[in-house]
Chain A
């Protein structure tokens, strides 16, 4: 009998542009890019290829000098066409021009029955070399897991409650056997349990229901009920000195494929969503794919923002930008760089608000799908309102005090107030609802970096 945790705190941002559950075909992108900036905790990336080199899917393209066992691999085969660097020669992108037919690096192949008997070292070796390892994220800090650690548990969230989030049923259709194999491998890495957080409000997808030897916990409630950080907090909280790994179901499937098929398969299904997309649907692509072919002819107007990921935690990219390593969706919303006459005073039903202050009527119509722009809706100010961050954070944490401790660089305060338990996505809603318009997620990351450095 699995535990059922009902969460009341949180807020669903109901946006227009939900994807239909159809996987459509789109032309394959010509170029792909691996962005070292996608991987938190990578401090000194070292490029392993040169412009002009020919790579296969699964060939390492860079690694971190600080943790040099972990390889970051090419998602497709082709030619390395450009290594983009920014200020101070910071490595930004490694671009690959893809072959028509993908060639794969060959890794050891196993049958499903052999997996259980495999040692951790054996499994780890393939995972590190092939490029699937960065799918494993360590908590605290939300950085790429260190292969030398043994976490007290591994957590997998099997649903996503972010705005316009894609459905894992669609993303991982017919991949149940790979998921099962992936979980089998993951069990070797922890002395504790492999935890699955499932959505209590929906039927459990067949992709996840067959995985053996896992501890299943059901969660229901508004966003962030699907966040793995929330699951950890309620099932097996992190204190100082604890270590937990998390991985999203796509990563588990990738691990399964590595062992059952012997290849690094970076193909994935992503959702093209958002109010400015003509027909929001799912599409086949690969990790790091350029979005130009995908969005071509699909967008209603010119003045839009392309976001890799969702509107709460995603990252702005250009219309020729590349899909982030961990992202399963592209969101397209209107750019909001317009002035609005008396915008702070006018009553409105078209702007979404968690609050109900003067003239904000969105709460009267909770089912309505809103079109939100990127406008900040106000200027940055000192913190004034209290008690609201707690309403959207279903954890026993005081986000406002934590943020203030970070701003004051109070190390003890940060530790005691729970900085080990949260990463950006867990406080993203606080950033959304903040009346004083602070960049809560950026502040949190600064705090995490401070704590990590001690």
Chain B
């Protein structure tokens, strides 16, 4: 350790003010603070000691929480490939195939996003933001495995520039950065983001009779086609019994790389909640909102999709992943504790509205999160306003 420190100390003057590489100071700082927490001490007045938590540790905790989703996603991409092509493979082969598909996407997202961060740190003279640790991992997990790598790069760059850096960087953004990346691709390259994109096929074809549908696609179909049978049995009957509740809960279904498994998202949720990094109020209220509206719709029951048991909404599509990792983004979510309940519940509700009542989009969590990102400040405003009113009431003048 001391040897590394000595090297750093020797080079440091080059990057400091007046040094040869002064412009690259923040790149230097990012590397230095990555290796060593700085020797900075507290000021002479005020708190003389500080809590051990810093932003880097906070962000890496979120990354750790996403790792179950990533690992399962890698396996599932391989698993789905062999299922769809009708091939037979061992666990190892599935993981290997999944890794060769997924890891390049992760790598591209990190590299492209990282370059943008570094470029902005030069231009705007601000430190390289740790938030990028999380964004770089989130973006791959919400993309389909068939996404072209250049689109991953483009989306990362777009999202970090437009959703984050123009607002001043981590902590200042209005919209969830990763969801912005996905929305960008969804609207810019729709053919690569929906339809036949959820199975990585390589150069192979679907096996006989395999439809390649997704759960939400099947359910949405049921809402517009008359005379269809019960959604639950249709789901279970498609593609060799693929979409049973249990399969969907575990995640052995097609979908975005990291989104399919509700179980893995819940493990992530557990990590976030135990560590206090993610708001349990938001996670719980998203699930509750979706269940609540799902239940009301099933009572109304105008078509087969509506009559689907409400808890199916929890395991279909990206709701669980979105609730755990997207809605809880502290910067773009509501900042007040009571506001978080409203914010989360509305995300759940809007997700189900978009899924069930809107014929255009089969999945709703992305638009719900982005929509509520925009409304989070309004929710906070109402909460803070009521606090101000209480305060004013007891004023004597």
Task: Specify whether A and B are partners.
Answer: yes
Q: How many whole Å from B54's CB to the nearest CB in chain A?
A: 3
In the assembled complex, the CB of B131 is this many whole angstroms from the nearest CB of chain A, namely: 7
- The answer to whether A432 and B41 touch across the interface, beta carbons within 8 angstroms, is no
Interface string of A306-330 (1 = CB under 8 A from B): 0100011111100000000000000
Q: Assuming A357-B277, A376-B40, is B48 touching A314 (CB within 8 A)?
A: yes
Residue among B44, B130, B274, B335 making CB contact with A386, cutoff 8 Å: B335
Q: Which residue in chain A gives the minimum CB-CB distance to B32?
A: A339
Given A381-B55, A384-B170, A374 and B335 contact (CB-CB distance below 8 Å): no
Q: Chain B residues with Cβ under 8 A from A342's Cβ?
A: 35-37
Check B35–A382 contact: CB distance below 8 A.
no
- Asked if A424 lies at the interface with its beta carbon under 8 angstroms from chain B, I say yes
Stretch at the interface among B57-65, B75-83, B296-304: B57-65
Q: A125 contacts the other chain (Cβ, under 8 Å)?
A: no
Q: Is the CB of A311 within 8 A of B170?
A: no
Indicate if B362 sits at the interface (CB-CB under 8 A).
Answer: no
Whole-angstrom distance between the Cβ of A193 and the nearest chain B Cβ = 16
Query: Could you tell me the distance in whole angstroms from the C-beta of A337 to the nearest C-beta in chain B?
Result: 5
- Closest chain-A Cβ to B23's Cβ sits at a distance in Å of 19
Partner of B276, one of A333, A348, A357: A357
With a cutoff of 8 Å between Cβ atoms, the chain A residues found around residue B172 in the complex are 382
User: Do B46 and A428 have beta carbons less than 8 Å apart?
Assistant: yes
* Contacting pair A316 B45 (CB below 8 A): yes
A337 touching B41 in the complex, CB below 8 Å, given contacts A384-B131, A428-B46: yes
CB-based contact A377/B384 at 8 Å:
no
Residues of chain A contacted by B169 (CB below 8 angstroms): 382
Distance A240 CA – B393 CA, assembled complex (angstroms): 11
Cβ of A112 within 8 Å of any chain B Cβ, yes or no, is no
Indicate whether A401 reaches chain B with its CB closer than 8 angstroms. Answer: yes
Looking at B46, B47, B391, which has the most chain A CB atoms within 10 Å of its CB?
B47
Q: Are A387 and B171 within 8 A (Cβ)?
A: no
CB distance from A339 to the nearest CB of B (A): 4
CA distance A337 to B172 in the complex (A): 30
Chain A residue nearest to B2 in the complex (CB): A341
Residue-by-residue, is B324-341 near A (CB-CB < 8 Å gives 1, otherwise 0)?
000000110101110010
Residues of chain A contacted by B336 (CB below 8 angstroms): 386-387, 398
Chain B nearest CB from A436 CB (Å) reads: 6
- CB contact under 8 A between A348 and B52, given known A381-B170, A382-B171: yes
- A 332-356 to B, binary, CB cutoff 8 A, 1 in contact else 0: 0101111111111100100111111
Q: How far is the CB of A26 from chain B (nearest CB, A)?
A: 23
Contact across chains for A387 and B46 when beta carbons are under 8 A apart: no
Nearest chain B CB to A371 CB, angstrom units: 10
Residues of B within 8 A of A357 (CB): 53, 57-58, 61, 275-277
> Considering only CB atoms and an 8 Å cut-off, how many residues of chain B contact the other chain?
64
Say yes or no: A240-B397 contact (C-beta < 8 A), given A314-B48, A376-B41, A432-B51: yes
Complex CA gap A431/B276 in Å reads 18
For residue B33, give the distance in angstroms from its CB to the closest CB of chain A. 6
Contacts of B57 in A (CB 8 A): 344-345, 357-360, 378
Q: How distant is A4 from chain B, measured CB to nearest CB, in Å?
A: 22
Tell me, rounded to whole Å, the shortest Cβ–Cβ distance linking B85 to chain A.
39
- B39, B51, B55 — most chain A CB neighbours (10 Å): B51
B residues 250-289 in Cβ contact with A at 8 Å: 274-277, 279
CA distance A357 to B42 in the complex (A): 22
Give the CA-CA distance A441 to B42 in the complex, in Å: 12
- Residues in B with CB closer than 8 Å to A390 are 337
Is B212 close to A, CB under 8 A? no
Cβ-based interface call for A439 (8 A): yes
Q: Which residues of A have CB within 8 Å of B45?
A: 315-316, 441-442
Interface residues of B in 340-397 (CB under 8 A from A): 340, 380, 384, 387-388, 390-392, 394-397
The complex places the Cα of A242 from the Cα of B392 at a distance, in Å, of 12
Instruction: Determine whether A230 belongs to the interface, using a CB cutoff of 8 Å to chain B.
Output: no
A373, A375, A417: the one within 8 Å of B384 (CB)? A417
B53 touches A435 (CB 8 A): yes
Asked whether B35 lies within 8 Å of A378 as measured between CB atoms, the reply is no
A383 to B171, CA, bound (A): 6
- Which 8 pairs between the two chains have the least Cβ-Cβ distance? A378-B54, A382-B171, A343-B37, A239-B395, A351-B52, A241-B397, A316-B44, A416-B388
Can you report 26 A-B residue pairs in the complex whose CB atoms are below 8 A from each other? A305-B41, A307-B48, A316-B44, A339-B37, A343-B36, A344-B33, A344-B60, A351-B52, A353-B53, A357-B58, A372-B49, A375-B37, A377-B52, A378-B54, A378-B55, A378-B56, A379-B40, A387-B336, A396-B387, A398-B384, A424-B46, A432-B49, A432-B50, A435-B55, A435-B58, A440-B46
Apart from A378-B37, A434-B51, what 13 extra A-B contacts exist at CB < 8 Å? A13-B49, A242-B395, A333-B48, A337-B41, A340-B36, A355-B276, A377-B51, A381-B54, A385-B330, A386-B330, A417-B384, A418-B391, A435-B55
